[in-house]
Amino acid sequence: MPYQDLRAFLTALRNAGELVDIARPIALKYDIAKALAKASSVQGPALMFTETGTDFPLVAGVYGNRRLALLAFEATEQTIHDKVLKGINNQIGPVDFKGTPPCQEVVLTGDAVDVTKLPVPTYSPKDGGAYITAGIVVSENPETGIPDIGNYRFQILGPKEMGVFSASNHRFGKNIAHATEMGKELHAAVVIGVDPMTMFSCQVQSSDATNDWFVAGGLRGAPVELAKAVSNDLKVPAHAEIVIEFTVDTKTQKMEGPLGEYTGYYTAASPKPVARITAITHRKGAIFQGLLTGKPITENHVLKQIPFEASVLRQLQAQFPTISDLSINSSGGVQTYVVIAMKPRYEGEARHAILAAMASNLHPKWVVVVEPDIDIRNSAEVEWAQSFRVKPREDVFVVDRTATAPLDPYTDGGYSSSVGVDATRPFGVEFPEVSEVPGWRDFDLPEINKG
C-alpha cells in the first residue's frame, strides 16, 4: 500500500533510522538552512526540528538524497524507472473524502489568518525574506477547469500576503495569465506536507491537458483523496498537513525576491503578483515542511530528478525504442545536462535523439549519447566515452537559439545554444574491444569486503 500521508512516510523514515529529531531551539533565519546543507553534504537523514519558536515543528531533507527518494518510491535503482513509468501509464482518478478531512481539523479565516505564525525559514543570506519552498500549488485552467499541481516558491510578505512567482511556461503561470486575460480572479491553494507520490507527481513532465491528480494516483497505485477547500471551489489533498488558500492579485504587484534558486545563483528581485490569503486550514499538530534550494545538489534537485528522468525517458523511447536509460544530472540543476544510453540502429540516430532531447521541456544545454555499456550515472565512465569514442569535428555540434532552462543566469536575451555530443562508437565500423577484467565484481576478497 502507498504511504497515505506525510506522517506515514516520516514514521517509515524514523523506523529506518533516516529521520533525526532535533529538540534544541533553532533559528528559522539561516540556521535551518545550515543544518540541511550539512546533512545534505554527508548524504544524511531527514531532520525534524521540534523547537522552531512557533507552534509547529518543521521537517526537511525528507527527499534530501537519492537513497531517501528511493525509499519514498519503495523501489531500487534497478526498478525505479519502470515503476514510475508504470504509474504514469496507468493513471488513477481521485476520489472525494467522506466527512471532515484531516487537513481541515483547524480552520482559520478572516482576522485569524496569519501565515507568519508558520515556521517558514529564510534560507540564504541575500534572500528577500522567508520562503515557502516545499509547497505544491493547486490551480485550474480558468477556461477548461483542468487542475494542475506544481511546486512553486512563495515569499512571505505579511500575515495575509505572499509574493507569487511562476515561470510563464509553467502551468500555474499560464493559468495566472489566462485568468488575467479573461478578467477573472484566479483561486489557488498552496499545500504543505503531502504523501511522497503526490509530491513527486508535481515534477512529472506532462501536457497542459493532463489532470495531475490522475498522475498522482497512478504513482500511488491508489486514488488521491480530495476535499473541497473552505474559501473556494478547488479540491485539495484531504490528508495534507497545511493548506493556504488564496487569490492571485495581478493588479497589485510587489517586489518578490531575491532567492537562491536551483541554478545555484540568486534570482533578482522584481515586481510580481500578490497572493491574498483567504483561509489557512491544517491538521491538529500540523507539521510544516521545508526544502533547501540553492547550489546543486540540494533536496530541490533530488525531488525533480526521478520524475524528470522517467517522464522524459518515456517521451524519447516512443521515438527511439533502443534508448535504455537517461540521466538528468543533478549538478546541472536537473535541467541543463542530459546523458542518454542507447544502441543506435542506423548512422545518425544518436544525433536525432540528441535533437529530440534538446526539444524537450528541459531545454538542456548539453546532451551526451553513449552506448548501454556506459554507466550514465558515473561521470568517469561518461568522460571515458567522450574521450575515446568522439571525434570532436564530426561528433560534437552546436544548435543556436535554443530555448533556455528557467532562471538560467547566462543567456542571450531569452535564448541560448545547446551542445550535442555523440559518444557512441561509429556505426557499422570495427572498433577495438574494451579491455576489462571479467568477473571482478563478484570476486571474493575478504579483507577488502570488510572495509
pTM: 0.89
DSSP H helix total and E strand total for the chain: 12, 23
pLDDT digits (tens, 9 = 90+) for 371-421: 999 999 999 999 999 999 999 999 999 999 988 888 888 887 778 899 999
For residues 289-293, average pLDDT = 94
Task: Give dist(CA 4, CA 2) in Å, integer.
Answer: 6
Q: What's the length of the chain?
A: 451
**CA separation, residue 320 to residues 265, 275, 316 (Å):** 35, 43, 6
78 Cα distance to chain centroid: 21
pLDDT digits (tens, 9 = 90+) for 408-418: 888 877 788 99
62 confidence band (pLDDT: 50, 70, 90): very high
Query: Which of 281, 41, 1, 256 is CA-nearest to residue 138?
Result: 281
Mention every residue, 6+ apart, whose C-beta is less than 8 A from residue 244: 115, 132, 135, 162, 189, 190, 191, 192, 277, 279, 280
Q: Is 200 helix (H, G, I), strand (E, B) or coil?
A: helix
For residues 19-40, average pLDDT = 94
**pLDDT at site 300:** 85
Which domains are assigned to the chain? Answer: 81-289 (2.30.110.10), 319-422 (3.40.1670.10)
What the block records as the C-alpha cell of 293 is 534550494
Percent of the chain predicted with pLDDT > 70: 99
Residue 91, pLDDT > 90, answer yes
315 Cα distance to chain centroid: 18
Q: Is 238 helix (H, G, I), strand (E, B) or coil?
A: coil
Beta pairing, strands 415-422 & 396-403? antiparallel
For residues 27-38, average pLDDT = 94
Cβ atoms of residues 269 and 38 within 8 Å: no
pLDDT digits (tens, 9 = 90+) for 220-244: 999 999 999 999 999 999 999 999 9
Residue 133, pLDDT > 60, answer yes
Mention every residue, 6+ apart, whose C-beta is less than 8 A from residue 360: 205, 312, 315, 316
Mention every residue, 6+ apart, whose C-beta is less than 8 A from residue 298: 36, 37, 40, 64, 262, 291, 292
